[in-house]
Chains A and B, each alone.
Chain A
Amino acid sequence: MTSWTPPVGTSYDPAGTGIAGPLRLLAGPEGPDPEWLTHHLGRLGPTPPPGRFLIDEVRAAGLRGRGGAGFPAGQKMAAVRAKSHTGRPAVVVGNGVESEPASDKDRLLLCRRPHLVLDGLQLAGRLVYADRLILALARDGQALRILREALIERRARLADDIAVELVTTPGGFVAGEETALTSWVSGAAPKPRPVPPRPFERGVGGRPTLVQNVETLAHLALIARFGADWFCSRGLEEDPGTCLITLSGAVARPGVYEVAVGTPMQSLLRGAGWDQSSLGLLVGGFFGTWIGADAAAGMRFCRSDLEQLGAAPGSGVIVVLASSLCGVREGARVLRWLAAESAGQCGPCVRGLPAIAGALERIADPLSASEAVVTQLLGWCDDVQGRGACHHPDGAVRLARSVVRTFASEVDAHRSGRCTLASARTAVTPQ
């Protein structure tokens, strides 16, 4: 089976399409070059010292983690701080691994605003009484080179900084998962482990560890400067601020956009120039959910709206399915990819995901699709749910279910031996 080719485009237009509104994270100089320290300090000034009330400010801001799970950042920081206060000093890990193949926002942020992320990392470190700061990156090259230079700049000019260790992780979808990351930094294999204990209790080297996505850290750097009220002036009441999203697939202008949380999907999709006859969107990335294009177009891009469709914003990924492609077949491809990305630790994931991918492939083929295969697929999904050390199998199962649900009419057509798409129909024409 060939591996999935990341569908992410290479042109970025954070401000150009008019869907973004005033930028925050990506404010400042346009263009692909990093904003170096002189310019960064000139534009935003130095990071204010993190007073006792910064954590209250973060809580009041309602900042949620931008790595996918959306856990309230203030709550996590408070938990790590409480552990660190009474025990061994904490460790902070900035997570810039971004192993989600359809996401490109962390790399873009790191490459363009390295100092905003590093400001946030320093603040988080002070906040939780950490004496070790780690920034984890994929072995991508570009971000690593920029961050290395940015750290050299800071060492010369910002005396108060805690030293930052740069760490690169091996590839693999689960390597960015937080327990996999803390294991890797501690010197073990980059594989998820069962929780509890969660990293805030026992993380790197057994110490309380705050793992936070790099975009979350960048927001923290801005909240420290401008406060919670400013942060909440955009976005939704229950989920404030802006977020970075990666739009790709059948869109004329793929790329990373900074938008307010809760921006109507319709304007996001229109702004990116989407294929309007598309039947479905993959929301939340490979760890996400397929949703019908019609239903999605009426929603806002936020947790509460997407929840109604069984989806979540995740790390802000939207992939538009081209109208020329069969959703079931694409879904099966993604699932086969996920099956191959299992860390290989837990039986239900190792054996279950290939079985589920196989069933979905049979449904994708009008010659082998049947009611029985669909029933078996859904039964296996129930079986695998919740039985891994990490949520990798849960994510795969959610995706498989969403394929059957979202492309139900397509599945029905396949079961009666037809495919509604011309391209797929020719594929099953007798030779």
Chain B
Amino acid sequence: MKAEYLRIDPTSCAGHGLCAELLPEMIQMDDWGYPIIEGRPIPPNLHQHAQRAVSFCPTLALALQQNPATGRPSPTPPRRRQSES
């Protein structure tokens, strides 16, 4: 199977946060509740979870695509956060 990647349309995302609940392995929240998505291809064992995250997005902002995101550098890997003080 061809590698797939997550793509987010930031203009549609409203920060509901379901994706970060359903796919915490690849999606983390920033300090304002918006998802930070890893640019690496989705590993096979997470594929089903990724599809679930995509289908549960209330604003249809999350999608799977065949190509890595183009046109801008992939975001730095999210920092692991300590729980908010």
Are A and B associated in one complex?
yes
Chain A residue contacts of B34, Cβ below 8 A: 347-348, 351, 387
Q: Quick check: A385 and B73 within 8 Å, CB to CB?
A: yes
Decide yes or no whether A361 CB sits under 8 A from chain B: no
- CB pairs A–B below 8 angstroms (11 shown): A196-B70, A198-B71, A346-B11, A347-B32, A348-B34, A351-B34, A382-B79, A384-B30, A387-B34, A387-B75, A394-B72
Decide yes or no whether B83 CB sits under 8 A from chain A: no
* Chain B nearest CB, measured from A342 CB (Å): 12
Separation of A23 and B43 alpha carbons in the complex (Å): 58
Q: Quick check: A379 and B79 within 8 Å, CB to CB?
A: yes
Residue of B9, B13, B33, B72 contacting most chain A CB atoms (<10 Å): B72
Q: A351-B32, A387-B34 are in contact. Are A346 and B75 (CB under 8 A)?
A: no
Interface residues on A, range: 20 to 34
Chain A window 357-391, contacts with chain B (Cβ cutoff 8 Å), 1 for yes, 0 for no = 00000000000000000000001101111111101
* Chain A nearest CB, measured from B63 CB (Å): 11
Decide yes or no whether B68 CB sits under 8 A from chain A: no
Decide yes or no whether B55 CB sits under 8 A from chain A: no
Decide yes or no whether B31 CB sits under 8 A from chain A: yes
Name B's A-contacting residues (CB within 8 A): 9-11, 13-15, 30-34, 36, 70-76, 78-79
Separation of A194 and B15 alpha carbons in the complex (Å): 17
Additional A-B contacts beyond A346-B11, A347-B10, A380-B31 (12; CB < 8 A)? A191-B11, A196-B71, A345-B11, A347-B32, A347-B34, A348-B32, A349-B10, A351-B32, A379-B79, A383-B36, A385-B76, A387-B36
Q: Quick check: A194 and B10 within 8 Å, CB to CB?
A: yes
* Chain A nearest CB, measured from B6 CB (Å): 13
Residue of B11, B34, B36, B75 contacting most chain A CB atoms (<10 Å): B11
Decide yes or no whether A193 CB sits under 8 A from chain B: yes
Q: Quick check: B14 and A347 within 8 Å, CB to CB?
A: yes
Decide yes or no whether A241 CB sits under 8 A from chain B: no
Chain A window 334-352, contacts with chain B (Cβ cutoff 8 Å), 1 for yes, 0 for no = 0000000000011111011
Q: A196-B70, A382-B76 are in contact. Are A355 and B11 (CB under 8 A)?
A: no
Chain B residue contacts of A159, Cβ below 8 A: none
Q: Quick check: B10 and A383 within 8 Å, CB to CB?
A: no
Q: Quick check: A386 and B73 within 8 Å, CB to CB?
A: yes
Separation of A426 and B32 alpha carbons in the complex (Å): 36
Chain B residue contacts of A346, Cβ below 8 A: 10-11, 13
Separation of A430 and B32 alpha carbons in the complex (Å): 35
Chain B residue contacts of A347, Cβ below 8 A: 10, 13-15, 32-34
List A residues 186-241 near B (Cβ within 8 Å): 191, 193-196, 198
Chain A residue contacts of B36, Cβ below 8 A: 383, 387
Chain A residue contacts of B14, Cβ below 8 A: 347
Q: A196-B71, A383-B36 are in contact. Are A389 and B30 (CB under 8 A)?
A: no
- Going nearest first, the 10 A-B pairs with the smallest beta carbon separation are A346-B10, A351-B32, A347-B34, A345-B11, A386-B75, A383-B30, A386-B72, A389-B11, A347-B15, A382-B76
Separation of A391 and B73 alpha carbons in the complex (Å): 11
Separation of A218 and B13 alpha carbons in the complex (Å): 40
The residue on A at minimum CB distance from B8 is A387
Chain A residue contacts of B79, Cβ below 8 A: 379, 382-383
Chain A residue contacts of B31, Cβ below 8 A: 355, 380, 383
The residue on B at minimum CB distance from A347 is B34
